[in-house]
Structure 1
Amino acid sequence: MSSTFWLLLAGGLIIGGLGLYAWQLWRQVWRREAHNREQLQARNHRLQEDLRILAGSLLDEQLPLIEGCIRIKVLLDNYQGKQRSSLPDGIFSLIYDATAHIPTHQAWKDLPREQRLAFEQLMMQLEETHRTAIEQAARELLEKLR
């Protein structure tokens, strides 16, 4: 047998080996993409359920309006599920933006009483002004997430 035959055979084996390796890499990519899709679907399902619970709690007055708006807005920012573009988020964003400067947790506790009262007054004013729009958006959210 000539050296050309052996070179062609070696080249064919190398090409075949590289093709097999490339196929295995693509299988890994496809599996990873499928896994990522499954994780995204599970995440969106959890967010959808959380949004339903929050909207329902908001309407049942089990959750303060301002806190509910903030929580819903944050979840909507992370939700990529069904009908995302048609879900109401304007009023939730408005309340979120209007209260973004208010300290939370320990920083709230550390505020002087006068400042806390001023922030509470602002929150009450926002609730009074936007209550109807918030409740309507929460109902619409519940309806569209069914």
Structure 2
Amino acid sequence: MAQNMFLTLVFIGLCLVVGLLLLIRWQLKTQRKAQEAHEKLVQEAKAKAQEQRDYLIESVKVISLAIIDEQCELAEGCIRLKKLLDHLAPQLHRHEDFSIINEMFNATSHMPILDEWKKLKLKQRFELTQEREALEQQHHDAILEAARKLADYRFQQ
């Protein structure tokens, strides 16, 4: 009888060990799947961030070339470049080759745009246009030089 009790306890012990091993295996499998899903999300986020960065770099180059080719007004180009560089490489605002972009942005920041521009009286529009054109004329060469350098600039990864 003692031997039957002993064998029963050994059997129960073996069943517990097998059950615990199966539980551990299931937990490891679940953990591995969760880690793989996390790694996949990280890779997707990295890819999306790189895609956005590439888009910003391309936009900077396109606007720089538009400034050089006189396809957009200098002040507008500086405003657009400043906003792109804010997201791409804000340290370039302090770089001596590109500081004119930030300077033009600040000098024109009080000027309304889009619907606010349309709401202005003709006289106000004329005065602001003269002010903007004077700024563009004053900084023409520096803006073109900055645009040339930005068009060729190699942004760090």
- TM-score between the two structures when normalised by the length of structure 1: 0.84
Query: Relative contact order (C-alpha < 8 Å, sep 6+): which is higher?
Result: 1
Q: How does 1:33-112 map to 2 (within 5 A)?
A: 33-79=42-88, 89-112=98-121
For residue 113 of structure 1, report the CA deviation from its aligned partner. 2.1
**Which of 59-68 and 86-95 deviates more?**
86-95
How many pairs are equivalent? 143
For residue 45 of structure 1, report the CA deviation from its aligned partner. 1.9
Can you give the 5+ residue segments of structure 1 that lack an aligned partner in the other structure? Answer: none
**Which of 47-56 and 85-94 deviates more?**
85-94
Rg bigger for which structure? Answer: 2
For residue 89 of structure 1, report the CA deviation from its aligned partner. 4.1
- TM-score between the two structures when normalised by the length of structure 2: 0.79
Counterpart residue type for residue 67 of structure 2:
L
Match of 1:134? 143
1:48–1:145 contact (8 Å) kept in structure 2? no
1:76–1:89 contact (8 Å) kept in structure 2? no
Deviations 1:49-92 (A, max 9, x none): 22111111101111100011111111222226xxx856754222
Counterpart residue type for residue 127 of structure 2:
A
Can you give the 5+ residue segments of structure 2 that lack an aligned partner in the other structure? Answer: 1-9
CA RMSD of aligned residues (A): 2.2
Counterpart residue type for residue 52 of structure 2:
R
- Structure 1 runs of 4+ aligned residues shifted over 3 Å read 84-89
1:55–1:142 contact (8 Å) kept in structure 2? yes
Match of 1:13? 22
For residue 19 of structure 1, report the CA deviation from its aligned partner. 1.2
